[in-house]
A and B are shown apart, each in its own frame.
Chain A
Amino acid sequence: MLATFRQSMTWLHTWCGLVFGWVLFAVFFAGTVAVFRLEVDYWMTPELHGKLKGAAPVATAQGALECLAPGALRWTIDLPDERADVLRIRWQPAPRERLQSRYIDAAGNELPVRDTRGGTMIYRFHYGLLLGRTGMWMVGGLAMVMFVTLLTGIIIHAKIFKEFFTFRPGRAPPRAWLDAHTVSSVMSLPFTVMITYTGLVIWWFIWMPGGLDLAFGGDRAGLFREMAPPGFEAAKASGQPAPLADLSGIVAAATQIGEGDLHVATITVFNPGDSAARVELARVSDRAIWGGSDRLRFDGVTGSYLDRRGETGQPAYVAFRAFRILHEIKFAALWLRWLFFVMSAASCVVIATGAVLWGAKRRARHLREFAKDEPQMHSALACFGVEALNAGVIAGMFTATSAYFMANRIIPAAAPGRADMEVNVFFLVWFTCAAIALVTMLARRRAMTQADGAQRVLRSVWSLQWALAAVAAGALPLVDQITTGGLVDALARRDPVLLAFHATNLGLACGLMFAAWKASGPPGRAMRLKRA
């Protein structure tokens, strides 16, 4: 094939990288937001903000369930935590009936919430592009390509530490972008390798079921039943009525059981009001990346402690769960989730600069053709089209996300089908940004017959896209304030989650504004053309 192994790897690296760059960027961008998906869920349901002040959640929830669902088969209480200060009760009225779900306030009153897919939509987009099983296969293929791209990237940059200290912003365009791509890659490389491989492993039974099919008869449920720690056997109702014990007392008693600082996340009551009622507490810890959870069972009438199931299982299962927890970073401490957010954002930079690099490399070649007075307009326009779309897809993702958040506030809370409308706004704005980028480039194609002109047009395309993204992010707190008074309310209550949301958005708006400003000015030394 190519003259050397390293050269063939360069070729594979470049093409894998570009062909999948945009969707990959979208997946990583969504993954970055999804680190805080529960916090975004919270922001997107303003009806729940600040409604639990001074509440005793367990007692409140028990009271509400006794009112709303006295004869239910099963109650579930999702307790508030630092990620979302909300209290949710769920119950199953009868066998094979749909689970009911309500949010309640400190007094136990039901809180009607707007219909929204929230941050969970972004999470689902992250692993399946909202395209069902097809989308999951696409993301799986992308993850595989990403992993090959990463490993071949390591082979190309074998002298990785030397290259890390080599940043040459004064050099010709491809060189400076290559350095930016390399520096950001090396910094986030361990994280990116980890997150890509763990992402592949999470859905192995969908993407690579060879072992399951050929050695276990394809029985996925059977495999997990055999590997996972056994749950408690189902509790049977006796038919004899008996009052339920005080759940707050049970939760208080749980603090004495087991080691580590586990806290109760979910309370499930089987057969409430029956003499055979059972109470199960699911506990988690935010101190351990894995292993920090267990289940406790109590007698529902006397409130006495029965037994405990720790998180054990066969070693491979423990490893598999560790992979999943490492990827989803669900119950980790706040600083760890911020670390994931930052590293994940750096991975987005790696992918985005990789896509830009692809264009910049070819731009230099086409600009040389312009300089030689023999412009091959068709191939040049195709190449510039890719560059314009780069801007539209990458910067447009920011704009679309801000638009999705704004749609959450602007679409009336009672509008029918509003959750779908929010999602449609996201895609519509994203595709519109890509279209705007292409049209603004094509509209000025006459200015692109010379090298300087082409350079200017492409820079203005980028500048406009970053400016749009900055305006959208900058408008978000205003829209929040005008529609729900959310900003002042968050400041007044010092709600940490909402304030962090707005602070992150403000920082983002500033960064986007800076990008727009940099792209609008004359090319820096890095981007200036070498005169032939």
Chain B
Amino acid sequence: MEGVGAARTGDAVETGMNGKPETGSGLSHALAVTARIGAAVLMGYAITYVAAGAASLVMPLPRTEAVLWASIASFMVYTAVAIYAFAAASVLRMWRDLLLVLALLSAVVALVPA
């Protein structure tokens, strides 16, 4: 698990034997990993859930059609969020972006009449 969340500072990163950077250590590393897994799993579910709802509401289709199409596609949204949670450069900015997306989608659900 070495190196995750360490290469933030812009320092040169030493590459270990498996091609993985072996900088970083201890607590900050564990925190960064937890924050990313947490974002991937929890934010991923929350965003997907609300995105499916929002898409069902705004799609110009009969409601039943919209719900089913949105639900079929929703697992792609989950996948995208999980990948972004690990690919984003900064943990803080990643959480900020995901919360922003969640807020936007929630606003759509709240404002569009069901």
Tally of A interface residues using CB under 8 Å:
43
Is residue B98 contacting chain A, with contact meaning CB distance below 8 A? no
Q: In chain A between 1 and 58, which residues have their CB closer than 8 angstroms to a CB of chain B?
A: 1-3, 5, 7-12, 15
B86 & A1 in contact (Cβ 8 Å cutoff): yes
Is residue B18 contacting chain A, with contact meaning CB distance below 8 A? yes
* B82 CB contacts on chain A under 8 angstroms: 144, 148
A147 & B79 in contact (Cβ 8 Å cutoff): yes
Give chain B's interface secondary structure class. Answer: helix
* B43 CB contacts on chain A under 8 angstroms: none
Given contacts A3-B15, A148-B83, contact A210 B53 (CB under 8 A): yes
Residue of A nearest to B80 (CB): A151
Is residue A320 contacting chain B, with contact meaning CB distance below 8 A? yes
B67 & A211 in contact (Cβ 8 Å cutoff): yes
* A239 CB contacts on chain B under 8 angstroms: none
B5 & A197 in contact (Cβ 8 Å cutoff): no
B88 & A211 in contact (Cβ 8 Å cutoff): no
Is residue B89 contacting chain A, with contact meaning CB distance below 8 A? yes
B87 & A205 in contact (Cβ 8 Å cutoff): no
* A204 CB contacts on chain B under 8 angstroms: 71-72, 74-75
Given contacts A151-B79, A214-B109, A215-B57, contact A314 B74 (CB under 8 A): no
Alpha-carbon distance A8/B6, docked complex (angstroms): 12
Contact with A along B73-114 (1 / 0, CB 8 A): 011001100110011110100000000000000000100001
Taking the closest CB of chain A, its distance from the CB of B105, in whole angstroms, is 10
Contact with A319, one of B50, B72, B83 (Cβ below 8 angstroms): B72
* B89 CB contacts on chain A under 8 angstroms: 1
Alpha-carbon distance A1/B86, docked complex (angstroms): 7
Is residue A213 contacting chain B, with contact meaning CB distance below 8 A? yes
Contact with A212, one of B40, B55, B67, B72 (Cβ below 8 angstroms): B67
* A210 CB contacts on chain B under 8 angstroms: 48-53, 56, 70-71, 74
Is residue A423 contacting chain B, with contact meaning CB distance below 8 A? no
* B64 CB contacts on chain A under 8 angstroms: 216, 223, 226-227, 314, 316-317
Alpha-carbon distance A185/B69, docked complex (angstroms): 29
* B74 CB contacts on chain A under 8 angstroms: 204, 208, 210-211
Most buried by B among A1, A209, A320: A1
Is residue B30 contacting chain A, with contact meaning CB distance below 8 A? no
B56 & A215 in contact (Cβ 8 Å cutoff): yes
A214 & B7 in contact (Cβ 8 Å cutoff): no
B114 & A217 in contact (Cβ 8 Å cutoff): yes
Most buried by A among B40, B55, B68, B114: B68
A9 & B87 in contact (Cβ 8 Å cutoff): yes
Alpha-carbon distance A3/B61, docked complex (angstroms): 44
Tally of B interface residues using CB under 8 Å:
50
B20 & A223 in contact (Cβ 8 Å cutoff): no
Alpha-carbon distance A214/B58, docked complex (angstroms): 12
Give chain A's interface secondary structure class. Answer: helix
* A320 CB contacts on chain B under 8 angstroms: 68, 72
* B7 CB contacts on chain A under 8 angstroms: 1-3
Alpha-carbon distance A214/B47, docked complex (angstroms): 13
* A223 CB contacts on chain B under 8 angstroms: 64, 67-68
* B21 CB contacts on chain A under 8 angstroms: 2-3, 7
Contact with B along A344-379 (1 / 0, CB 8 A): 000000000000000001000000000000000000
Given contacts A2-B21, A208-B74, contact A316 B53 (CB under 8 A): no
Taking the closest CB of chain A, its distance from the CB of B96, in whole angstroms, is 15
Contact with A211, one of B3, B71, B79, B87 (Cβ below 8 angstroms): B71
Is residue A152 contacting chain B, with contact meaning CB distance below 8 A? yes
Is residue A200 contacting chain B, with contact meaning CB distance below 8 A? yes
Is residue B27 contacting chain A, with contact meaning CB distance below 8 A? no
B57 & A1 in contact (Cβ 8 Å cutoff): no
* A212 CB contacts on chain B under 8 angstroms: 67, 71
A227 & B3 in contact (Cβ 8 Å cutoff): no
Q: In chain A between 183 and 232, which residues have their CB closer than 8 angstroms to a CB of chain B?
A: 197, 200-201, 204-205, 208-217, 223, 226-227
Is residue B26 contacting chain A, with contact meaning CB distance below 8 A? no
A148 & B5 in contact (Cβ 8 Å cutoff): no
* A215 CB contacts on chain B under 8 angstroms: 53, 56-57, 63, 66-67, 70, 114
Is residue A323 contacting chain B, with contact meaning CB distance below 8 A? yes
* B50 CB contacts on chain A under 8 angstroms: 210, 214
Alpha-carbon distance A319/B68, docked complex (angstroms): 9
| 17 residue pairs bridging A and B, Cβ less than 8 Å apart | A2-B20, A7-B19, A7-B21, A10-B20, A11-B1, A144-B79, A147-B75, A155-B83, A201-B71, A201-B72, A208-B71, A209-B71, A210-B48, A211-B68, A215-B53, A217-B114, A227-B64
Q: A12-B83, A208-B74, A216-B63 are in contact. List 11 more A-B contacts (CB 8 A).
A: A1-B4, A2-B7, A148-B79, A201-B71, A201-B75, A209-B71, A210-B74, A211-B53, A213-B53, A315-B65, A323-B72
Interface residues of B (CB under 8 A from A): 1, 3-5, 7-8, 13, 15, 18-21, 32, 36, 40, 48-57, 61-72, 74-75, 78-79, 82-83, 86-89, 91, 109, 114
